[in-house]
Amino acid sequence: MTPLECEQNSITGTGKLPPPGVPWLTLGLPMLIAGLIFFVSPNFRANEELRIAPLGGDFLQEWIGATVLSGEQASQLYDAQYVEALQHDPQVVGFEWSASSYFPMVYPPFYYSLLRPLAAFDYATASKLWLGLSALAFSMIGWLVFQFYPASRDYIFAYVLAAVLFVPFLNALVMGQKSVFLLLILLGTFLLLRYQRPFGAGIVFGLIVFKPHLGLVIGLTMLAKRQWAFAAGAVLVVFSLVAYSWFYQGELFGNYLNVVLGMNDYLQTQGYQLEDAHSLWGAVTLACHSQSPWLSKASTALLSLVVGFLLWRAVGESVTLKSEAFARQFSAMIVATVLLSPHFYGYDLTILLLPFLLILSTTNLDRWGNVRSERGIVILVLACFSMSGAFSTIARFTHVQPSTVLLIALLLLLGGVNLADRGAFNQAEKVSSD
CA distances to 33, 52, 88, 97, 178 from 101, in Å = 28, 8, 9, 8, 20
pLDDT at 427 over 70: no
Contact at 8 Å (CB) between 392 and 275?
A: yes
pLDDT at 144 over 60: yes
Cα 138 from chain centroid (whole Å): 12
Contact at 8 Å (CB) between 404 and 280?
A: yes
More confident residue, 363 or 393: 393
Domain presence at residue 430: no
CA distance 111 to 352: 24
Three-state SS at 51: strand
pLDDT at 371 over 60: no
Least confident of 75-79, 87-91, 415-419: 415-419
pLDDT reported for residue 316: 76
Q: Predicted confidence band at 153 (pLDDT cuts at 50, 70, 90)?
A: low
Domain presence at residue 434: no
CA distance 39 to 143: 26
Helix count and strand count (H, E) for the chain: 23, 0
pLDDT at 84 over 60: yes
Domain presence at residue 432: no
pLDDT of 105-114, one tens digit each?
Answer: 889 889 999 9
Q: How many CA atoms lie within 13 A of 185 on its CB side?
A: 23
110 by Cβ neighbours in 10 Å (0-12 / 13-18 / 19+) ranks as buried
pLDDT of 118-143, one tens digit each?
Answer: 999 999 899 999 999 998 898 888 88
pLDDT reported for residue 158: 66
Domain presence at residue 433: no
Tally of structural domains, the chain: 1
CA distances to 7, 192, 217, 326, 411 from 320, in Å = 12, 13, 19, 7, 21
Cα 19 from chain centroid (whole Å): 28
pLDDT reported for residue 228: 93
Cβ count within 10 A of residue 51: 17
Alpha helix (H) ranges present in 2-79?
A: 3-12, 22-40, 59-70
Angle between helices 353-361 and 123-148 (to 10 degrees): 20
- Enumerate residues 6+ apart whose C-beta is below 8 A from 96: 49, 50, 51, 88, 90
Q: Predicted confidence band at 375 (pLDDT cuts at 50, 70, 90)?
A: low
CA distance 45 to 262: 34
CA distance 204 to 182: 11
Whole-angstrom Cα Rg for the chain:
22
pLDDT of 310-324, one tens digit each?
Answer: 888 888 777 777 777
Contact at 8 Å (CB) between 135 and 33?
A: yes
Three-state SS at 97: strand
| The dihedral sign for the CA sequence 235, 118, 261, 295 | negative
24 by Cβ neighbours in 10 Å (0-12 / 13-18 / 19+) ranks as exposed
Structural domain boundaries, residue 197: 3-425
Can you tell me the mean pLDDT for 84-108? 85
The pLDDT > 70 percentage for the chain reads 78
Domain presence at residue 122: yes
Contact at 8 Å (CB) between 209 and 241?
A: yes
User: Which uninterrupted H or E stretch holds 222?
Assistant: helix 216-224
CA distances to 41, 84, 139, 170 from 35, in Å = 10, 30, 14, 12
Domain presence at residue 31: yes
Can you tell me the mean pLDDT for 64-81? 88
Can you tell me the mean pLDDT for 280-294? 77
pLDDT of 14-69, one tens digit each?
Answer: 444 445 556 667 777 787 888 888 877 877 776 666 777 788 888 999 999 999 98
Domain presence at residue 208: yes
Contact at 8 Å (CB) between 181 and 188?
A: no
Least confident of 56-60, 198-202, 330-334, 384-388: 384-388
For 102, list phi and psi in degrees, rounded to 5: -160, 135
Domain presence at residue 234: yes
What is the chain's mean pLDDT, rounded? Answer: 78
- Enumerate residues 6+ apart whose C-beta is below 8 A from 200: 192, 233
For 176, list phi and psi in degrees, rounded to 5: 65, 30
pLDDT at 101 over 90: no
